[in-house]
């Protein structure tokens, strides 16, 4: 694709379709600085093996084994598709079990987890910090990112090393996404205010990895404090020639990857394509900070900033939490629950997932723990028939036809979904929020996507089975043809052998006849002679 269309990216702002203006409720948690006191060590850490988009990693520890803080517990597999990401010990202690445990996931199903009992020492493995990362090759830097287990911390949790590897030589612009658009979540805003230099250092490392000179840090327009802090860090690190902070309008979901690109460039990412096709790579600001920790300090990703907020929390705030920490420990650190707690959510109120209990662990995707009270939750509404008002179409940031998609899915006409571009839905919840008939549209879309995936797998299996059948038929036909050819050849050989035998027999007969003729003639002469002499 021609990258010239985004040459002026970030110089002018544009609009994306739809969107909602929402109250953000961020002051609940981000008005106070990070606590000076760290979260106390938990007695037990529950570390899911699969905390990333892709195949589960391969476990390399066993029950009874002693491990140190930062030690790898699992490593990526050798799969040709997304192989997974490293998982590390959040503290030192003993591996007491490897078993199925409930984890934060929309399915609510159990997943393989490594259970670590802390020994209280918190002893690190030997770290390998880098004095000057500019002396490392691009491949060495990417390898360090991989070994640190870094994934997208904005929620997608795609292994960052694979994203960087795929952008080799094709990226013009890096966008660091700090446009934290969903209500209540403020961990990125807190990070940008508390530790902006770490983000800018990560951006400089990424610019070397990608060999680019243009990095945009996108933040929401009201984030004045973040803007000033980032600008100061850019000047301090001498990065003003390649890093620019851009403020974007506060319109949900402008923090979505495709929507943010459209706001900054005025160009929509083509359906079925990735931003890399436009020469753009998007990473979260927290991911950039984690890359700084991994490259310069040699630290793997064993903790992250988590927003603990909502009317159901006594002291809402942002907390640095180790991966595997039970959510109950974070709630306790923040003063516990208020009376009337009704619901616990990981993420925001629109795109978050409901949690069954607070015994579930913090994972790499945990950007927010939201506790809502009964007053926050509207009473369940009965789903009514669609009135074709078109409100859902007006707010859809992907430019889809939600009401049409819903009718097609209800009719189970899944073949038609490909033409309606259901895959472009980012499940932002705008249509759910605005629907006057209280239709759970996102639930329908998730169901439709799952059915599409199932049918895609079945179609691939069917195509593979047909391919195998066709190859078998060709192989059998070839074998039959070869068998007939061999049979004909043997028949011809036998026929030739029979003719040869007849000619040999005839020759033998002629030879015998000649021999008999030769032996018969002398005997007749001898007989005549004897007769004459007698007479």
Query: At a CB cut-off of 8 Å and minimum separation 6, what does 116 contact?
Result: 44, 45, 47, 67, 73, 89, 90, 91, 93, 94, 95, 96, 324
How many CB atoms neighbour CB 426 within 10 A?
19
Structure tokens given for 382: 């009965």
Extended strands (E) in 325-412 = 341-346, 353-354, 368-373
What per-residue confidence (pLDDT) applies to 375?
87
How many CB atoms neighbour CB 315 within 10 A?
15
**Residue position matching structure tokens 């890359």:** 291
What per-residue confidence (pLDDT) applies to 320?
96
Structure tokens given for 278: 């436009």
Extended strands (E) in 68-199 = 72-75, 87-88, 93-102, 110-118, 173-178
What per-residue confidence (pLDDT) applies to 530?
45
Instruction: Give φ, ψ of 304 to 5 degrees.
Output: -155, 165
The 173-178 sheet, strands edge to edge? 243-248, 215-220, 173-178, 280-284
In this structure, the dihedral spanned by the alpha carbons of residues 419, 424, 429 and 434, taken in order and rounded to 10 degrees, is -50
Structure tokens given for 94: 């003993």
Extended strands (E) in 256-409 = 280-284, 303-309, 317-322, 341-346, 353-354, 368-373
Extended strands (E) in 129-234 = 173-178, 215-220
Which is it for strands 303-309 and 368-373: parallel, antiparallel or unpaired? Answer: parallel
Q: Is the CB of residue 163 less than 8 Å from the CB of residue 171?
A: no
What per-residue confidence (pLDDT) applies to 355?
93
What per-residue confidence (pLDDT) applies to 79?
55
Q: Is the dihedral of CA 193, 194, 198, 199 positive or negative?
A: negative
Specify burial of residue 447 (Cβ count, 10 A radius: 0-12, 13-18, 19+): middle
Mind listing the domains of the chain with CATH numbers? Answer: 3-372 (3.40.50.11540), 384-520 (1.10.1060)
Predicted structure pTM score:
0.84
Q: Is 36 left (phi over 0), alpha (psi -120 to 50) or beta?
A: alpha
pLDDT along the chain (535 residues), means of 10: 66 92 91 84 95 82 97 81 83 96 86 96 95 93 95 88 83 94 94 96 96 94 94 96 95 94 92 89 96 96 96 95 97 94 93 93 95 86 91 94 93 85 91 93 91 85 90 92 87 70 77 80 48 41
Specify burial of residue 278 (Cβ count, 10 A radius: 0-12, 13-18, 19+): buried
């Amino acid at each position: 694709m021609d990258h010239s269309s985004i040459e002026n990216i970030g110089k002018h702002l544009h609009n994306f379709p739809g969107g909602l203006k929402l109250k953000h409720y961020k002051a609940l948690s981000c008005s106070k600085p990070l606590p000076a006191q760290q979260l106390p060590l938990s007695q037990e850490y529950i570390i899911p093996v699969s905390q990333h988009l892709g195949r589960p990693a391969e476990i390399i520890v066993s029950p009874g084994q002693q491990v140190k803080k930062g030690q790898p517990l699992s490593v990526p597999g050798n799969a040709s598709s997304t192989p997974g990401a490293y998982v590390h010990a959040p503290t030192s202690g003993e591996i007491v079990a490897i078993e199925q445990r409930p984890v934060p996931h929309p399915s609510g199903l159990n997943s393989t987890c490594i259970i670590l009992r802390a020994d209280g020492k918190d002893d690190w493995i030997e770290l390998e910090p880098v004095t000057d990362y500019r002396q490392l090759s691009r491949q060495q830097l990417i390898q360090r990112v991989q070994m640190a287990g870094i994934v997208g911390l904005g929620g997608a949790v795609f292994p960052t090393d694979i994203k960087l590897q795929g952008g080799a030589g094709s990226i013009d612009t890096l966008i660091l996404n700090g446009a934290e658009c969903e209500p209540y979540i403020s961990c990125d805003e807190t990070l940008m205010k508390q530790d902006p230099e770490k983000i800018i250092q990560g951006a400089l490392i990424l610019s070397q990895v990608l060999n680019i000179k243009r990095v945009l840090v996108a933040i929401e327009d009201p984030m004045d404090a973040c803007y000033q802090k980032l600008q100061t860090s850019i000047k301090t690190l001498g990065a003003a020639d390649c890093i620019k902070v851009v403020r974007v309008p506060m319109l949900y979901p402008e923090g979505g990857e495709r929507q943010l690109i459209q706001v900054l460039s005025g160009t929509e990412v083509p359906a079925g394509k990735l931003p890399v096709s436009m020469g753009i790579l998007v990473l979260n600001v927290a991911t950039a900070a984690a890359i700084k920790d991994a490259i310069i300090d040699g630290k793997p990703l064993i903790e992250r900033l988590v927003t603990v907020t909502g009317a159901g929390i006594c002291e809402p705030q942002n907390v640095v939490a180790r991966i595997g920490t039970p959510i109950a420990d974070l709630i306790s650190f923040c003063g516990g629950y208020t009376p009337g707690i009704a619901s616990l959510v990981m993420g925001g109120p629109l795109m978050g997932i409901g949690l069954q209990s607070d015994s579930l662990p913090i994972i790499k995707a945990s950007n927010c723990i939201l506790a809502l009270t009964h007053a926050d939750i509207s009473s369940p509404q009965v789903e009514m028939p669609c009135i074709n008002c078109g409100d859902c179409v007006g707010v859809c940031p992907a430019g889809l036809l939600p009401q049409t998609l819903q009718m097609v899915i209800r009719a189970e006409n899944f073949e038609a979904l490909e033409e309606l571009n259901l895959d472009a839905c980012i499940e932002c919840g705008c249509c759910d929020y605005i629907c006057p008939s209280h239709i759970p549209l996102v639930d329908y879309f998730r169901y439709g996507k799952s059915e599409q995936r199932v049918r895609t797998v079945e179609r691939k299996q069917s195509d593979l089975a047909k391919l195998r059948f066709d190859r078998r038929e060709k192989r059998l036909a070839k074998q039959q043809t070869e068998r007939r050819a061999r049979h004909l050849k043997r028949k011809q050989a036998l026929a030739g052998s029979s003719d040869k035998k007849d000619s040999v027999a005839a020759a033998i007969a002629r030879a015998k006849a000649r021999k008999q003729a030769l032996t018969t003639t002398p005997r007749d002469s001898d007989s005549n002679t004897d007769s004459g002499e007698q007479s």
